[in-house]
Amino acid sequence: MNENDEKINIVAVTDDNYAQHLGVMLYSLLENFRMNAHRNLDIYIIEDSISKSNKINLKRIIEQSGANAIFKTIDNSKYEGFKVLGNHVLACYYRISIPEILTDSIKKAIYLDCDLIVKEDISKLWNIDISEYFLAAVEDLNYRLPDMLGLPAGSKYFNSGVLLLNLERWRDHCISDKAREWIKNNPDKVNYVDQDGLNAILFNRWKELSLSWNVQSSMFIRRLYELRCTKAEYMEARKNPSILHFTTYPKPWHFTNNHPLKKEYYKYLKKTPWKHYSPPDRNFPNFFKKIYYYSNIKRIALKVLPEGVIKIIRKLKNTVKKRVNL
């Protein structure tokens, strides 16, 4: 390599349960990456007990495209006793440790969740200047509780599924330690695991990215008036997503999922070693549930009912979810 060569550092975190979905995400990333003689990918996988066969499969996906696979383990004792809610797992916190796990010579990285499909050349995200910020991210349009984190009313809150990280600045200001300390000291305020801690510590010190770099499921579920974005931003992100993020449950690998772009997951899945996967929840009860839940009856109700009634119903639904998770 000469002085003009560049390594784009990609980081992902997984346990064995999400190895397949990481493989699908990586395949989409690599297929849409425009590699050349002076630019390549180093892909770091922070893993928690991945099986030997899954590790081989992930390594094969990465290396057959000419990228480099680097597996890293983590001392998870730093996260003992951390609050885990709903469908989150302890591994969600591990992205906080990225600047500590990667060597100090690596000053910049892109973190990607496993439940993504990358549809654009990732180098376009890499080339964004974040020299004056700790990270760049997309706002979480579905978040409504900034006051719980001690943030001013109306504050923007980022989704941590896609992060462009300034590792050098992060290390200089000990952000990992500060985020862990905040989470440890504020368990009653934690609803979205590491994401809450990072937003609390990095409030107003992150760069906002275009919605297209993290098109969350809320963009396809919520009405425009419920989201904090313009109609033009909303339409463009839905039409031309650079990264699709399946943020809600069920996920696209579940039979009951009905995301309009679910097919994107299976498009890449069939190119991976997991191509014969069949959703374990594919059964008669869920078949009828899917017909009922996603039938025209629900769509008609959403169109007919007044907006005020829909807001009340969703508020009650969210309240019930929170109480179940307590």
Which tokens is 103 given?
A: 């060597």
Determine the pLDDT at residue 93: 93
Determine the pLDDT at residue 325: 45
Determine the pLDDT at residue 39: 82
Q: Which residues, given as ranges, of the chain have pLDDT below 50?
A: 1-4, 323-326
**What is the value of pTM for the model shown?**
0.86
Domain 6-280 has CATH 3.90.550.10: yes
pLDDT in tens, 176-212: 999 999 999 999 998 889 999 999 999 999 999 999 9
Dihedral sign for Cα atoms in the order 239, 245, 247, 252: positive
The CA distance from 281 to 86, in Å, is 18
Determine the pLDDT at residue 10: 98
Q: Where are the domains of the chain?
A: 6-280
The CA distance from 198 to 201, in Å, is 5
Picking from 115, 160, 136, 109, the residue whose alpha carbon sits closest to that of residue 17 is: 115
pLDDT in tens, 127-148: 999 999 999 999 998 776 667 7
